[in-house]
Chain A
Amino acid sequence: MPVPDEDTFRNDVRGWLAANLTGDFAPLVGSGGPGREHEFVQERMAWERRLGAAGWIGLGWPESDGGRGLPWQHQVIFYEEYARAGAPARVGHIGEQLLGPTLLMFGTAGQRARFLPGILAGTQLWCQGYSEPGAGSDLAAVSTRARLDGGQWHLDGQKVWTSLAQFADWCFVLARTEPAADRHRGLTCLLVPMRQPGIEIRPIVQLTGTSEFNEVFFDDARAAAADIVGAPGDGWRVAMGTLAVERGVSTFGQQMGFQREFEAVLATARANGAIDDPDLGARIVEAWVGLQVMRYTAMATLGRAATDVPGTEANISKLLWAPWHQRLGELAVDVAGAAATITGPRYELDNAQRLFLYTRADTIYGGSNEIQRNVIAERGLGLPREPH
């Protein structure tokens, strides 16, 4: 398929979103996402299928694997237009952005043929089973065990902070398969069906009062012997590949979401006069400056990323956006003033309150900002490791 020119493509995306975010999907505008993942889940799953049917999933994947083979510029346009339209936060993003690319890198032809079509169609949802109570920043301390017995993997252990586990069909699980091996060896990445007796899911109530994340307990849960990514014992390399795969294309959609949040804060500040307060006015300008800086940094990253091996761009990006987002959350409640101290009768939060509270997670999840600094220091700057 020839690559459409960027303006045509942008018009196509915009037109499709305008035509489809209507009817049953109209209430989904602005729904979902951090702090709001509980909203309209069934409807958003239907929306995922609508996206898949129209070919909007896997834009950058190779055409031989069912993708569109589009360059990063087109993916950026899609994410920008998607966020600009206020289309709902995706429920299929873990499959599309983490598991899919992992299979493209490490999966067998059979695995790609079996799992990628469901992701592309928006019919199969994935969750990620990496973190454990004893393995957060120290991911290699994973202790969930899997042993091969009678032609099946048997899993025992616990995962935590598993987004969307209650809706997912599959989980890619990092588990210890060779207990005697050195801690970075002996790990294997398994593809585990979520709907089975050996799996129990318990939601975690966060400081926002809502639940996006879950605990997942494996009690003799099963996976087929062939459903591992890479070789047995190769799980650490696969896991690191998954984490490095996020090259920043979706950053633009994220930033468009930030832009919308910023505009909401700005609108409040104009409406209630906060904009005239010198401190708040200065912080509003600084928030906008930060948005532009993040955008240019992401653009510079993408310009390089086409030919480079994954570097520390994603780590740098996170150290820029997570603290920025926290500052925006603080600004949002400062702009609202004392009104922001009152919630709904059942602790319903407004957007400013949610932003203020939820953004505390931003510097923790996906590798805490301290871990990001370690990665930049070691891989980006070549500083020596800290001795153990």
Chain B
Amino acid sequence: MEFTDCVEQADLRSVVRAFAARHAPPDYDQKIWERLSTELGLTALAVPEGFGGAGAGPAEVAVAVEELGRVLLPSPYLSSAAAALALARAAADCPEPAERYLPGLAAGSMTGALALDADVTVDGDTITGVAGNVVDGAMAGLLLVRAGDDLVAVAATEAAVEPLATLDQTRGQAAIRLNRARAVPAGSAASAVALHRVLLAAECAAAAEYCLEVTVDYLKTRRQFGRPIGSFQALRHRAADLAVAVSSARATARAAVRTAAINTGANTTGDSDSAALAALAPLAALHCSRTFLQVTGEMIQLHGGIGFTWEHEAHRYFKRAKSSQLLLGPASALRAEIGRAAGLLPADPPVTATLGWGPAPR
């Protein structure tokens, strides 16, 4: 498994980083989105060439996700790219939604959103129900809705979409209501869930790395008691612990991205990779989201009072970290899924229950 960027990925990374550094607006900006799509071609990365895309894949999409995530650039990129990757992956079995939506997703003229925690029922070719936390749902043209083990594609025009005010103001959500909306099969839910988790893990790890960099810079420049506060061992050791956490999160996210890339590749779709991803996607999501939260909490603390202000950027990362973690679901559920996928736990484990300090069995 290759853990470093290839030349093309490294080029892509520096282009996106430079663009994001110049153009990260506080709110969603349609012009920035258009430039991301057309000038930088990021939206095309997730889409095969046959559908108007660049024929890249999860590895390249993850590079863009990581670099946009470092600056919390408000955009539906992660959601839309995950939707495109899921549609592309299902295209052989479900050509209709791929043909209909992928060209628009590739061009960036339309965006997609995932409703993976939906309470819906499918009746023939219609779907009815609600989904409460649809990230980037307000501006999406395509909704990929989870219905049990399946994924269905619904045009947003078929849904009642209510934008929501979010704790993390850099990432929008919507509540959607579907009333006998026309729905087309779009592959397996598990595949979309895994792709989304892998990209979110990559974003968390990259943003955590940025937060560590900012915090270390502050520790070097902020002076108290006549010396940089980064020379105090109490703080140095905490920074070192964060470096360990970030390093492990970056590696874990990278492994998940690489496994997803192999898994969605045109020539290799080995079952072993699929099985590996079944454990690795929730594992990376669990590890990277809690690392991100750890780093951002420490970012606030190590900045002292300034870190508690609205003006400082720390709170935006802290809110993104916790929101990401909450949207992934409880750690106990992720653990149960990992335990089952890795064959550690029986198929129907009691671990999903709330954790308690029960007596050790004799």
A206 interface contact, C-beta 8 A? no
Given A266-B344, A299-B251, residue A282 in contact with residue B338 (CB < 8 A): no
Are B283 and A320 in touch, CB under 8 angstroms?
Answer: no
How many whole Å from A215's CB to the nearest CB in chain B? 30
Given A299-B255, A303-B3, A384-B231, residue A277 in contact with residue B360 (CB < 8 A): yes
Are B233 and A374 in touch, CB under 8 angstroms?
Answer: yes
Task: Tell me the B residues contacting A by CB distance below 8 Å.
Answer: 1-4, 216, 219-220, 227-228, 230-233, 236-237, 239-241, 243-244, 247-248, 250-252, 254-255, 279-280, 283, 286-287, 332, 335-336, 338-339, 342, 344-346, 349-351, 353-358, 360-362
How many whole Å from A188's CB to the nearest CB in chain B? 31
The residues of A that contact B346 with a CB separation of less than 8 Å are 275
Complex-state Cα separation, A180 to B1, whole angstroms: 52
Are A282 and B361 in touch, CB under 8 angstroms?
Answer: no
List the one stretch of A135-143, A165-173, A375-383 in contact with chain B. A375-383
A304 interface contact, C-beta 8 A? yes
Are A288 and B2 in touch, CB under 8 angstroms?
Answer: no
Given A376-B243, A386-B232, residue A278 in contact with residue B361 (CB < 8 A): no
Are B3 and A281 in touch, CB under 8 angstroms?
Answer: no
Q: Which residue of A lies closest to B249 (CB)?
A: A293
1/0 per residue, CB under 8 A from B, across A312-349: the answer is 10001001100000000000001111110000000000
Are A282 and B351 in touch, CB under 8 angstroms?
Answer: yes
The residues of A that contact B228 with a CB separation of less than 8 Å are 383-384
Are A278 and B356 in touch, CB under 8 angstroms?
Answer: yes
Contact of B244 among A280, A320, A370, A374 (CB under 8 A): A320
Are B251 and A288 in touch, CB under 8 angstroms?
Answer: no
Q: Which residue of A lies closest to B255 (CB)?
A: A296
Are A288 and B350 in touch, CB under 8 angstroms?
Answer: no
Are B345 and A299 in touch, CB under 8 angstroms?
Answer: no
The residues of A that contact B239 with a CB separation of less than 8 Å are 377, 381, 383
Complex-state Cα separation, A24 to B103, whole angstroms: 68
Are B342 and A281 in touch, CB under 8 angstroms?
Answer: no
Are A384 and B350 in touch, CB under 8 angstroms?
Answer: no
Given A284-B339, A284-B344, A384-B227, residue A273 in contact with residue B251 (CB < 8 A): no
1/0 per residue, CB under 8 A from B, across A39-68: the answer is 000000000000000000000000000000
Across the A-B interface, how many residue pairs have beta carbons closer than 8 Å? 161
A151 interface contact, C-beta 8 A? no
The residues of A that contact B286 with a CB separation of less than 8 Å are 289
Of A277, A278, A301, A370, which is in contact with the most chain B CB atoms at under 10 Å from its CB?
A278
Of B239, B241, B243, B354, which is in contact with the most chain A CB atoms at under 10 Å from its CB?
B243
The residues of B that contact A383 with a CB separation of less than 8 Å are 216, 219-220, 228, 230-231, 236, 239
A97 interface contact, C-beta 8 A? no
Are A299 and B3 in touch, CB under 8 angstroms?
Answer: yes
Are A289 and B236 in touch, CB under 8 angstroms?
Answer: no
How many whole Å from A274's CB to the nearest CB in chain B? 5
Are A300 and B220 in touch, CB under 8 angstroms?
Answer: no
How many whole Å from B201's CB to the nearest CB in chain A? 12
Are A373 and B240 in touch, CB under 8 angstroms?
Answer: yes
Are A282 and B240 in touch, CB under 8 angstroms?
Answer: no
Q: Which of A274-308 contact B (CB under 8 A)?
A: 274-282, 284-286, 288-289, 292-294, 296-297, 299-301, 303-304
Are B335 and A374 in touch, CB under 8 angstroms?
Answer: no
The residues of B that contact A272 with a CB separation of less than 8 Å are 361-362
Q: Give the secondary structure class of B's interface.
A: helix
Are B338 and A274 in touch, CB under 8 angstroms?
Answer: no
The residues of A that contact B255 with a CB separation of less than 8 Å are 292, 296, 299-300
Are A280 and B252 in touch, CB under 8 angstroms?
Answer: no
A197 interface contact, C-beta 8 A? no
A23 interface contact, C-beta 8 A? no
Are B236 and A279 in touch, CB under 8 angstroms?
Answer: no
The residues of A that contact B231 with a CB separation of less than 8 Å are 383-387
Are A380 and B349 in touch, CB under 8 angstroms?
Answer: no
Complex-state Cα separation, A361 to B266, whole angstroms: 49
The residues of A that contact B219 with a CB separation of less than 8 Å are 383
Of A296, A300, A304, A382, which is in contact with the most chain B CB atoms at under 10 Å from its CB?
A296
Of B227, B254, B338, B361, which is in contact with the most chain A CB atoms at under 10 Å from its CB?
B361
Complex-state Cα separation, A163 to B44, whole angstroms: 58
1/0 per residue, CB under 8 A from B, across A145-183: the answer is 000000000000000000000000000000000000000
Complex-state Cα separation, A380 to B241, whole angstroms: 12
The residues of A that contact B237 with a CB separation of less than 8 Å are 370, 373-374, 377
How many whole Å from B283's CB to the nearest CB in chain A? 5
How many whole Å from B5's CB to the nearest CB in chain A? 11
How many whole Å from B349's CB to the nearest CB in chain A? 6
Given A274-B360, A293-B287, residue A316 in contact with residue B244 (CB < 8 A): yes
Are B353 and A296 in touch, CB under 8 angstroms?
Answer: no
The residues of A that contact B241 with a CB separation of less than 8 Å are 319, 373
Are B335 and A282 in touch, CB under 8 angstroms?
Answer: yes
Complex-state Cα separation, A289 to B233, whole angstroms: 30
How many whole Å from A119's CB to the nearest CB in chain B? 31
Are A303 and B338 in touch, CB under 8 angstroms?
Answer: no
Complex-state Cα separation, A381 to B232, whole angstroms: 14
Are A382 and B220 in touch, CB under 8 angstroms?
Answer: yes
The residues of B that contact A276 with a CB separation of less than 8 Å are 350, 361
Complex-state Cα separation, A57 to B355, whole angstroms: 47
What are 22 sample pairs from A and B whose C-beta atoms fall under 8 A apart?
A273-B361, A274-B360, A277-B358, A278-B358, A281-B350, A282-B355, A285-B335, A292-B255, A293-B283, A293-B287, A297-B248, A299-B3, A300-B3, A300-B250, A300-B251, A300-B254, A316-B248, A319-B240, A334-B360, A370-B237, A377-B230, A383-B230
How many whole Å from A349's CB to the nearest CB in chain B? 18
Complex-state Cα separation, A337 to B361, whole angstroms: 6
Contact of B362 among A279, A286, A304, A338 (CB under 8 A): A338
The residues of A that contact B280 with a CB separation of less than 8 Å are 292
Are A297 and B360 in touch, CB under 8 angstroms?
Answer: no
How many whole Å from B277's CB to the nearest CB in chain A? 12
How many whole Å from A291's CB to the nearest CB in chain B? 10
